[in-house]
């Protein structure tokens, strides 16, 4: 599946960047778009949790992160990084700056595992937060529904249960 995804993505890149003949330049253009999109997603996650914590925005971001995570799992890494590396002829990837900041030295074989681990952790945390927000919104709705359906109010020591 990985090889098919890489071949199709490379075919798409060649057709989208039809005016450029040099594969290295196409790879650099793809890398620029990939880094821009990845960093934009990280900024959107920060914005959706600080400046504009709208539930709809967090839901869209979570769904996009889940799609990227599924792609990472199914292809054992990022397809765009693999196409970039194939076209440029180097081994650098999106996670290299993060590994340098954390002073983690790895070989190229362990980078996909670190990427999958990081994306799994990110999706898990965003998913748990989304579930807690859904739970926070649904409980009052269910309580109001139960109160409207209950003909008798039940209470313990003066505190109504419904």
Under the banding of pLDDT at 50, 70 and 90, the label for residue 156 is low
According to the model, what pLDDT value does residue 9 have? 85
> Any residues with CB less than 8 A from the CB of 6 and at least 6 apart, and which?
75, 79, 82, 83, 86
- Strand, coil or helix: what is 160? strand
pLDDT tens across 111-125, in order? 888 889 999 999 999
Residues 71, 77: Cα–Cα separation, whole Å: 8
Residues 83, 30: Cα–Cα separation, whole Å: 8
- Strand, coil or helix: what is 41? helix
Give percent of the chain with pLDDT exceeding 90: 40
CB 94, CB 38: distance < 8 Å: yes
pLDDT tens across 27-83, in order? 899 999 999 999 999 999 999 999 999 999 999 999 999 999 999 999 988 899 889
Under the banding of pLDDT at 50, 70 and 90, the label for residue 153 is low
Q: What value does the mean pLDDT of the chain take?
A: 86
According to the model, what pLDDT value does residue 6 have? 85
Under the banding of pLDDT at 50, 70 and 90, the label for residue 148 is confident
CB 10, CB 86: distance < 8 Å: yes
Separation in Å, CA 158 to CA 5, 154, 161? 63, 9, 9
CB 23, CB 84: distance < 8 Å: no
């Amino acid at each position: 599946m990985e090889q098919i995804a890489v071949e199709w993505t490379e075919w798409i890149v060649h057709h989208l960047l039809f005016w450029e003949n040099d594969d290295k330049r196409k790879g650099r253009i793809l890398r620029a778009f990939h880094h821009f999109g990845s960093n934009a997603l990280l900024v959107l996650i920060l914005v959706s949790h600080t400046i504009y914590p709208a539930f709809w925005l967090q839901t869209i971001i979570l769904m996009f992160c889940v799609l990227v995570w599924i792609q990472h799992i199914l292809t054992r890494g990022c397809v765009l990084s693999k196409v970039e590396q194939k076209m440029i002829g180097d081994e650098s990837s999106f996670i290299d700056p993060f590994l340098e900041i954390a002073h983690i030295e790895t070989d190229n074989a362990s980078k996909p595992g670190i990427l999958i681990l990081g994306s799994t952790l990110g999706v898990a945390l965003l998913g748990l937060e989304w579930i807690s927000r859904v739970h926070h919104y649904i409980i009052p709705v269910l309580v109001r529904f139960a109160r409207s359906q209950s003909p008798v109010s039940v209470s313990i020591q003066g505190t109504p249960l419904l």
